[in-house]
Amino acid sequence: MPHSEIARTAREVFGWKTLRDGQPDAIAALVAGRDAIVILPTGAGKSAVYQLAGYLREGLTLVVSPLIALQDDQVAQLAAAPRAPRGAVLNSTLSDRAAEELWGELAEGRIGCLFLTPEQLAKDEVVDRLRAIGVGLLAVDEAHCVASWGHDFRPDYLRLGAVRERLGAPPIAALTATGAEPVRVEIADRLRLRDPDVIVRGVDRPNIELTVRRFVGADDKRGAVIDSVAAAAASGPGLLYTATRREAEEYAAVLAERGTRVGVYHAGLSKAEREAAHRAFLDDAVDVVVATNAFGMGIDKPGVRFVTHASVPESLDSYYQEIGRAGRDGAAADATLFYRPEDLGIRKYFVSRTVDRGEVAAAYRAVARAEGRLSTKALAERLEIAPRRAQHLVNLLVEGGAVRAERRGAVVAASVSPAAAAAAAEEASERRERIERSRLDVMRRYAETRDCRRRVLLRYFGEDLDGPCGTCDTCRAGVVDDSGIDEAGVPFPTGSAVEHAEWGLGSVSAVEGDRLTVFFEEQGYKTLALDTVIENGLLSRAG
């Protein structure tokens, strides 16, 4: 579809005078029936992509969104557009009567865009009724959740690819604000995308000033975090991210003693407590929310002036996602990481994975012996373990390729011995651990770099700057060395597909001076000396 027609529809139907860079390309791909991974910065109009593409396609637009509060905001956005189709939410808070009224409106074609969680699509009745109505577009909002949560936290994300087929195979729009190479690969794999068009635009948020403050002593760092956040809160709202729930509680208590209006948020609190903290922040009832990474998705608060990290996050993907909650109004904002190398230890602990082969083999044996699909609840009862543990075992077997997760439970995907199934699961788990450790190592290099910090961040996402930004802490300190090798003369430029004799296929994610950073599908990120690569022929071009 011509971009001019897309722009005309945007004006006439949604009241948008212009479209942003990347939006027309994504919309055109989806209207043509092609899958798309769309990576646009927070506030750059990802919702406009599925709204407009869905309007231009026949059938209902189905939006999978992880949070009910986020769904309500998106419905309100549609209602504010002059001629946009109606939006509605299908979730567990609806009464039976309200749900049936909604289904009636859907059947009559009075609703054009339906928002729901992945758990709703795990219900046979919901999928069957949607198929009968006709789905023209399946949008997966916050698609990075497919990679970061799908493994163990929200298993229904793992089934979205199969659900798409049951819905009549509509094109998928996978939308996120963050997605480096491994995340994109996992999104495409888990959603079973077919040769997706990958659209990455505008990762840079130049109004956010990037700073890393390095410390040796834990007490010194803690005191500096408190002083910094307390001072920053006096001039505008902000977020303080911690590595653990305990740290969140402790920082919140000290800030409250200092007179800061503070809320706390982590997965250990009740749903009501979490919702209250979320609402208090949006309503300006608190100045700071101290939280683990469980907090933040769905925040639509344009005036956040700072995001502070008391400890190093697990990856640059997470860091970018979290600091992106600052400065959505375009005004100046600060992103400060308080870094202590010893803090990497707790992150390494979080990504460590130990597989009990005997337990995994027992789980496979139970699935193989079941008549039909074996539910998580039934597996937990047979093995006398908690349901969450049973789901973890199923996920390991799925990653190892021995089991397939379907809507009614697990079923054998490969007829192998229980020992072989356990070995495959362990190998898949070790691969994931290698990749996650390598992403943590990239995060460490960001924290310790003497290069332009903004340039390091952008290179990770496949973009670059013509020169140092001039505004990050390394640029301000005058320590940036910009005499690196011109990438035009490098035999393996950013984005090129390569192959290593030992590590297999990979892609170059960054060229930094005399180093290459390559993401290998089986090993994760590796940093290689360019001279050594060339002299020893370590890499060859692939594909």
Among 430, 446, 474, the domain boundary falls at 430
Burial (Cβ within 10 Å: 0-12, 13-18, ≥19) of residue 414: middle
Tell me, yes or no, whether 215 and 143 share the same domain.
no
Residues 41 and 186 placed together within one structural domain of the fold: yes
Asked whether residue 297 carries a pLDDT value surpassing 80, the answer given is: no
Question: Is 452 inside any structural domain?
Answer: no
Q: What is the mean pLDDT of residues 184-190?
A: 85
- In terms of domains, do 225 and 261 share one? yes
- Strand pairing class (60-64; 135-140): parallel
Structural domain includes residue 276: yes
User: Looking at the structure, do residues 189 and 157 belong to the same domain, yes or no?
Assistant: yes
- pLDDT tens for each residue of 334-368: 999 999 988 888 777 776 778 899 999 999 999 99
Per-residue pLDDT tens over the stretch 115-171: 998 888 888 899 999 999 999 999 998 888 777 544 455 667 777 888 999 999 999
For residue 103, tell me if it sits in a domain: yes
Q: Has residue 44 got a pLDDT over 70?
A: no
> What is the pLDDT at residue 149?
47
- Per the prediction, the chain carries an average pLDDT of 87
- Is 118 part of any domain? yes
CA distance 48 to 195: 22
For residue 507, what are the CA distances in angstroms to 203, 503, 530, 538, 539? 19, 12, 15, 14, 11
C-alpha triplet 175, 180, 186: angle, nearest 5°: 70
Query: Does residue 471 sit within a domain?
Result: no
309 in Cβ contact with 267 (< 8 Å): no
Q: What is the mean pLDDT of residues 380-404?
A: 90
DSSP per residue over 387-428, as a string? HHHHHHHHHHHHHTTSEEEETTEEEESS---HHHHHHHHHHH
CATH number assigned to the domain comprising residue 334: 3.40.50.300
Q: Answer yes or no: do 308 and 332 share one domain.
A: yes
State mean pLDDT over 107-119: 90
Identify the DSSP state of 123: S
Lowest mean pLDDT of 118-127, 200-209, 470-479, 489-498, name the range: 489-498
- Identify the pLDDT of residue 453: 92
Question: Does 169 lie in the same domain as 304?
Answer: no
- When pLDDT is averaged across residues 229-254 and rounded to a whole number, the result is 95
Count of domains forming the chain: 4
Pairing of strands 333-339, 306-309: parallel
503 assigned to some structural domain:
yes
pLDDT at 441: 86
User: What pLDDT score does 290 carry?
Assistant: 95
Residue 43's pLDDT band (boundaries 50, 70, 90)? low
pLDDT at 150: 46
What is the pLDDT, as a whole number, of residue 69?
A: 63
Write down the pLDDT at residue 458.
87
* 176-190, 246-260, 305-319: which is most confident: 246-260
Q: Tell me: do 82 and 143 sit in the same domain.
A: yes
Range of weakest confidence among 183-192, 224-233, 276-285 = 183-192
383, 404, 430: which is the final residue of a domain?
A: 430
Amino acid, single-letter form, for residue 39: I
Last residue of some domain: 292, 320, 349?
349
pLDDT digits (tens, 9 = 90+) for 463-484: 778 789 999 999 999 988 765 5
Q: Give yes or no: residues 382 and 495 share one domain.
A: no
Range of the structural domain that residue 510 is part of: 486-543
Q: What is the CATH number of the domain that holds 497?
A: 2.30.30.140
173 and 26 co-located in one domain: yes
Report the pLDDT value the prediction gives residue 405, as an integer from 0 to 100: 78
More confident residue, 456 or 82: 456
The pLDDT score that the predictor gives to residue 138 is 96
Q: Which residues contact 344 (CB under 8 A, 6 or more apart)?
A: 312, 440, 444
Out of 35-49, 293-307, 407-421, the most confident range is: 407-421
Question: How much of the chain exceeds pLDDT 90, in percent?
Answer: 43
48 with 183, same domain? yes
* Average confidence (pLDDT) over 88-103: 89
pLDDT at residue 68, rounded to an integer: 67
Whole-angstrom Cα distance, residue 141 to residue 196? Answer: 16
Please list, in sequence order, all residues whose beta carbon lies within 8 angstroms of the beta carbon of residue 222, skipping any fewer than 6 positions away.
Answer: 310
Q: Are residues 105 and 19 in the same domain?
A: yes
The verdict on 131 and 185 lying in the same domain is yes
- Per-residue pLDDT band for 433 (boundaries 50, 70, 90) equals confident
Domain contains 501? yes
Residue 468 lies in a domain: no
Neighbours of 125 (CB within 10 A): 8
The reported pLDDT for the residue numbered 360 is 93
| Higher local confidence (pLDDT), 178 or 247 | 247
Model pLDDT, residue 543: 63
**Buried-exposed string 339-370: b where 16+ CB fall within 10 A, e elsewhere:** bbeebbeebeeebeeebeeebbbbbbbbbbeb
**Window from 250-264, 375-389, 511-525 with minimum mean pLDDT:** 511-525
